[in-house]
């Protein structure tokens, strides 16, 4: 996309956002690429490099949660590169632009597929983590969540102090159902949404990608923020074919300078 086209698309995106009632951002790994976290698909993607995990991750956890926890405690991970990047990452300009859109009252909610906790570190407040959060733990029985460093792990697997069920990392494993509370929040937000920003997602994983389709079918507008095409591009009304760390701050700047 030429710079002129991008400028025009940024203007259009700002105009659409300013006129919308309930803007929601659907976020994927691409937003955190500029924070040094590799994506999953496409060039440099973890699954491109190491192959996509099978859908039995959760089943294996349930078969022997103690074994899973031992591996976790001894930091044995197939994806060490990803774990290291997650531990060192800090938010980038794209994260801060989403926070600013929220503070200005334009962005009502973030549905993120990212487990990296960078939205919170950037200061965003209204977030649903559809795939969980790597800095948290969750009870399989009552769905309670704890910050990792606030939960004493004195047995493997750890158990919930309230209901006694097994506790796991909050990150949703392959084959694990999306926690009900998170899914319900996403469904509500998609229902209220009349303008959805698709930020750095390849839009191939469901139910997340399905929320964008629902917004479109409900007469809403889609804005894609991605240097590459996705299966949802043809449904999008505005396309910012550039990195999120570049295009989102430009959109925020347009809205900041808008006469009130």
Binding site for ligand APR (CB under 6 A): 28-30, 33-34, 39-42, 45, 113, 131, 200-202, 205, 225-228, 230, 243-245
Rounded to whole angstroms, the Cα distance separating 54 from 47 reads: 11
177: its two tokens:
């159902």
131 classed as catalytic: yes
Closest CA to 27 of 99, 105, 83, 80: 99
Residue 236 CB, shortest distance to ligand APR, in Å, is 13
> How many whole angstroms separate alpha carbon 119 and alpha carbon 145?
18
Closer of 34 and 158 to ligand APR (Cβ): 34
Report CA-CA distances (Å) from 46 to 42, 80, 82: 9, 10, 8
- Which two structure tokens, joined as six digits, stand for 132? 């969980």
Task: State which residue, 124 or 226, has the beta carbon closest to ligand APR.
Answer: 226
Q: Residue of minimal CB distance from ligand APR?
A: 30
Q: Find the shortest distance in angstroms from Cβ 27 to ligand APR.
A: 8
Tokens encoding 139: 């009870």
Shortest separation between residue 47's beta carbon and ligand APR, angstroms: 6
Q: Which is nearer to ligand APR, 160 or 172 (CB)?
A: 172
State the minimum distance, in angstroms, from the CB of residue 206 to ligand APR.
10
Angle between helices 3-19 and 244-256 in degrees, nearest 10: 50
Q: Catalytic one among 95, 109, 119, 131?
A: 131
Q: Which is nearer to ligand APR, 14 or 115 (CB)?
A: 115
In 3-state terms, the chain is what percent helix, strand and coil (to 5)?
45, 15, 40
**Residues designated catalytic:** 131
């Amino acid at each position: 996309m030429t710079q002129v086209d991008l400028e025009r698309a940024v203007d259009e995106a700002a105009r659409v956002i300013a006129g919308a009632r309930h803007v929601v951002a659907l976020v994927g790994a691409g937003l955190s690429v500029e924070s040094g976290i590799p994506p999953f698909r496409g060039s440099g993607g973890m699954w491109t490099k190491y192959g996509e995990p099978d859908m039995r991750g959760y089943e294996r956890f349930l078969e022997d949660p103690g074994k899973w926890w031992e591996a976790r405690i001894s930091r044995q991970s197939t994806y060490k590169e990803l774990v290291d990047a997650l531990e060192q990452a800090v938010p980038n300009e794209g994260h801060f632009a989403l926070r600013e859109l929220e503070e200005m009252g334009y962005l009502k909610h973030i549905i993120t597929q990212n487990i990296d906790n960078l939205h919170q570190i950037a200061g965003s407040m209204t977030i649903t983590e559809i795939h969980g959060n790597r800095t948290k733990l969750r009870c399989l029985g009552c769905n309670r969540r704890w910050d990792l460093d606030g939960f004493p792990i004195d047995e493997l697997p750890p158990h919930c102090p309230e209901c006694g069920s097994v506790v796991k990392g909050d990150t949703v494993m392959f084959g694990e159902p999306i926690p009900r509370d998170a899914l319900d929040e996403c469904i509500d937000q998609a229902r209220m949404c009349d303008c959805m920003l698709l930020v750095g997602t390849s839009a191939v994983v469901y139910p997340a990608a399905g929320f964008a389709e629902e917004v479109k079918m409900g007469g809403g507008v889609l804005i894609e923020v991605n240097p590459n095409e996705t299966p949802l591009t043809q449904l999008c009304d505005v396309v910012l074919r550039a990195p999120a760390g570049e295009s989102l701050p430009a959109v925020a700047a347009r809205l900041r300078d808008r006469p009130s």
